[in-house]
Amino acid sequence: RSMASKIEKKLNVQQAFAELEAITAWFEKEEIDLEEGLAKFERGLELARKLKARLGEVENRVSAIKAKFGDLMDAEPASEEPFN
């Protein structure tokens, strides 16, 4: 993958969170339209599902990286004594 696609994916996550926050704020208004509320609720669930899936992808990638470099992560810290 190119760096641009990684950045785009990150921006999409940020945009999805922002949209989800806006939907939540909309529901906190005094009077809401039922039909619009149903549409926003459905969109919110869709965003939450996509964000959960993306989080799963990130967690899998972190696990793969840890497995790949696990021996480095488990290594004893280097002694601070100077070499003689």
Residue appearing with tokens 């989800």? 20
Alpha carbons 84 and 75: distance in angstroms, whole number? 22
Q: Is 62 exposed, middle or buried (0-12, 13-18, 19+ CB in 10 A)?
A: exposed
4-56 pLDDT, tens digit each: 556 556 668 889 999 999 999 999 987 889 999 999 999 999 999 999 999 99
Whole-model pTM over 0.95 = no
Cα 82 to chain center, whole Å?
Answer: 43
Alpha carbons 14 and 20: distance in angstroms, whole number? 10
CB 67 within 8 A of CB 50: no
